[in-house]
Amino acid sequence: MTQAQYRVLVVEDEPDIRSILRTLLQTANYRTIEAETAARGAIEARSHKPDLLIVDLGLPDADGVQLIRDVREWSAVPILVLSARTMEEQKIAALDAGADDYITKPFSAPELLARVRAALRRNARGVEQPPVLQLGDVTIDLSRRIAATNGNEVRFTPLEYRVMQTLARQAGMIVTQKQLLCEVWGPDRDTDSRSLRVYVKNIRQKVEPDPARPRYLLTEAGVGYRLMVPLQ
């Protein structure tokens, strides 16, 4: 599918922001559909089957989180939240409801388009995980669990590989701490954020040129982590 064929549903009640998003997306060759309310957004999502949703949380008839939950009952379409809400618990609530990413207002146009592209790429891959990650000089073969840099082996533990696999399935998107803990350690360890921080620190020591200033494995404060894979 070419980029021009992707349909993006914008659910936003502020006309000025809808206009900005419409112009931005259409300039980037996306087709846009618009809705001002959660109820209308649910109707448009079912009737048009968009390839991606951009959803505001402060809608006049319902909270956008409820719209996300409703859509998730029947579709795995990528959903990006675009909201002025900045509290960590609000971000976590939206992500736990099924959103793929969270962008705060005011937003950067290049960043929003990059997040849109990342969400569409992830959706196109489906549940498949990339067989090889190239993070600077480090090559990680996730299917074979082999890693090397400049011909020298880089040793990852089984749990470190599982963390990377979980992040790689949603490369470019936020993965919450709870999701990582449940998938890697199991549902009975979903509050063990200390262990997760230790493993993330160890992974950064192996893949980041400067672990104190990570460029690949990023922290979304209070929410989770994001794996940024450079385009080849």
Asked if residue 87 and residue 34 are part of one domain, the reply reads yes
**Where among 106, 125, 144 does a domain terminate?**
125
Confidence check: pLDDT of 123 > 80: no
DSSP lists the bridge partners of residue 55 as 11, 81
Assigned domain for 232 exists: no
**Is there a domain that residue 57 lies in?**
yes
Is the pLDDT score of 159 beyond 60? yes
Q: Are residues 120 and 166 in the same domain?
A: no
Report whether pLDDT(76) > 90. no
| pTM exceeds 0.85 | no
2-38 pLDDT, tens digit per residue, is 444 789 999 999 999 999 999 999 999 999 999 999 9
Residue 106 inside a domain? The answer is yes
pLDDT-derived band at 205 (thresholds 50, 70, 90) equals: very high
Rounded distance between C-alpha atoms, residue 143 and residue 23, angstroms: 41
**Do residues 130 and 141 touch, judged by C-beta distance below 8 A?**
no
Q: Among 125, 146, 166, give the residue marking a domain's end.
A: 125
Q: Is the Cβ–Cβ distance between 176 and 223 less than 8 Å? A: yes
Does pLDDT of 112 surpass 70? Answer: yes
Residues 142 and 108 in one domain: no
- Containing structural domain, residue 106: 3-125
Task: From 105, 125, 145, give the residue that closes a domain.
Answer: 125
202 and 152 co-located in one domain: yes
Number of domain units in the chain: 2
Check residue 2 and give its pLDDT: 46
Q: Would 44 be classed as within a structural domain?
A: yes
Question: Are 23 and 63 in a shared domain?
Answer: yes
| pLDDT reading at 154 higher than 70 | yes
- Three-state DSSP class for 228? coil
The yes-or-no verdict on residue 215 having pLDDT over 50 is yes
pLDDT at residue 74, as a whole number:
85
Report DSSP state, residue 58. Answer: B
Mean pLDDT calculated for residue range 192-201: 90
Residue 127 has pLDDT above 60, yes or no: no
**3-state SS of the chain: helix, strand, coil percent to 5?**
45, 20, 35
19 and 90 both lie in a single domain? yes
CATH of the domain at 97: 3.40.50.2300
The pLDDT value recorded for residue 1 is 47
Q: What is the mean pLDDT of residues 158-169?
A: 90
pLDDT bracket for residue 119 (50, 70, 90): confident
Does residue 27 sit in the same domain as residue 92?
A: yes
Calpha distance 77→71 (Å, rounded)? 8
> Which of 30-39, 119-128, 222-231 is most confident?
30-39
Q: Do 104 and 68 have their domain in common?
A: yes
| Average pLDDT of the chain to the nearest whole number | 89
pLDDT at 126: 56
